[in-house]
Structure formats: structure tokens, C-alpha cells
Amino acid sequence: MPFSHTKVVGPAGRFGARYGMGVRRKVTQIEVKQRGKHRCPRCRALTRMERLAFGIWRCPKCGFTFAGGAWVPQTTLGKTMTPEELRLIELEKQKWKEKVKKKKE
């Protein structure tokens, strides 16, 4: 497949212009991958996990919420994340935590 320099951002397009093209391209690749089914750590159902936030997943079968890798339910952290990606993940996790905290109060 020839490499295209045209605007192929796919699902990462929603990130707008906030992040560099390199990150967005990588996000697109990973997000395409994560559309596959994953096994729930609790009920063991092979299903499409619902992503609540970066690194937070929910099993639609049993409702189990768990933390996994930021992009796919299996932990991919420590694989080949760039510092920008890690920062992005931390940012999203922070946002999610704050949202949860607000709900509880």
C-alpha cells in the first residue's frame, strides 16, 4: 500500500489540531486495531469492550469496569509509546478521574 500524505486521520480526526500528526496517525492505527473483540477479565466473554476513557474499559455483558491499556484492553503501556502519547493518556486519565470525583460529590 503506498503511503499517503493526504489527510487520512480517520477516527483520530476528532482530536482536531491539538496534537501532532505523528500522534494522530498512530492513534488511528491503534484505534482501528482496538475495534476487535477482547476477552473480559471477569466473565471471560469475548466481546467488544466499551471504552469509557483512556485506559478505562467496560464489559457490556457483565458491566465490569476495569483499567487496561490506554488503547486496547490489554496493557500496551511500556510497548512503544512516545512521550507525547503518554502525556495524552495521562491527561485523559486525569480528566476521567475528575469526572468520577464530581459525580460522587
Chain residues that interact with Zn ion, rule: CB under 5 A: 40, 42-43, 59, 61-62, 64
- Residue closer to Zn ion by CB (options 12, 55) is 55
Residue 89 contacts residue 30 (beta carbons within 8 Å)? no
Beta-strand ranges (E) seen in 1-105 are 38-39, 46-47, 50-53, 56-58, 65-67
- Residue closer to Zn ion by CB (options 61, 93) is 61
- Residue closer to Zn ion by CB (options 75, 94) is 75
CA dist 28 → 8, 13, 37, 61, 65 (Å): 9, 8, 17, 26, 24
